[in-house]
Amino acid sequence: MPSVLGPYEGPSLIGTAQRVNSASVEFWDAGVIVVEPDAPAGKDVVFSCAVHGDETAPIEMVRDMLHDILAGQLTVKQRTLFLIANPAAIVNGTRFVDMNMNRLFSGAHANGNSPEHARAAKIEQYVGRFFKQQQRFHYDLHTAIRDSAHEKFAVYPFTHGAPYKKQQLTFLAECGVDTILLNQAPTTTFSYFSVREHQADAFTVELGKVRPFGQNDMSRFAKADTMFRKLIATETLQLPEFDASRHHIYDVCRTINRTAQNFELNFPDDVANFTEFDTGFVLARDGETPYRVERSGERIIFPNAQVAIGQRALLTVIPLPVEQLELV
26 is an active site residue: no
Nearest to 299 by CA among 257, 260, 322, 271: 271
| Ranges assigned E (strand) in the chain | 17-20, 23-29, 32-37, 43-49, 79-84, 135-144, 153-156, 179-182, 201-209, 248-257, 263-265, 282-286, 289-292, 299-301, 312-319
Nearest to 216 by CA among 33, 59, 51, 1: 59
What is the C-alpha separation between 313 and 200, in angstroms, rounded?
A: 28
Nearest to 79 by CA among 49, 47, 105, 121: 47
CA distances from 222 to 63, 174, 185, 231 (A): 14, 11, 32, 14
DSSP assignment of 271-300: PPBT-B--TT-EEEEETTEEEE--STT-EE
Q: What is the pTM of this model?
A: 0.93
Question: In which element (H, E) is residue 173 found?
Answer: helix 166-174
Beta bridge partners of 18: 25
Q: What is the dihedral of CA 6, 11, 15, 16, to 10 degrees?
A: -120
What is the C-alpha separation between 140 and 205, in angstroms, rounded?
A: 6
Q: How many whole angstroms from its chain centre is CA 116?
A: 16
Residue 193 gets which letter from DSSP?
H
Cβ(85)–Cβ(48) below 8 Å: yes
What angle in degrees, to the nearest 10, is found between the helix axes of 222-233 and 166-174? 130
Active-site position among 26, 206, 298, 326: 206
pLDDT of residue 146: 87
pLDDT of residue 279: 96
Question: In which element (H, E) is residue 197 found?
Answer: helix 190-198
- Three-state DSSP class for 255? strand
pLDDT of residue 12: 73
Longest CA span, the chain:
63
pLDDT in tens, the chain (328 residues): 335 554 444 457 888 999 999 999 999 999 999 999 999 999 999 999 999 999 999 999 999 999 999 999 999 999 999 999 999 999 999 999 999 999 999 999 999 999 999 999 999 999 999 999 999 999 999 999 889 999 999 999 999 999 999 999 999 999 999 999 999 999 999 999 999 999 999 999 999 999 999 999 999 999 999 999 999 999 999 999 999 999 999 999 999 999 999 999 999 989 999 999 999 999 999 999 999 999 999 999 999 999 999 999 999 999 999 999 999 9
pLDDT of residue 11: 52
What is the C-alpha separation between 65 and 59, in angstroms, rounded?
A: 10
- Residue 147, judged by CB atoms within 10 A of its CB (0-12, 13-18, 19+), counts as middle
pLDDT of residue 290: 97
**Rama region for 85: left / alpha / beta (φ>0; ψ in -120 to 50; rest):** alpha
pLDDT of residue 6: 47
- How many residues are there in the chain? 328
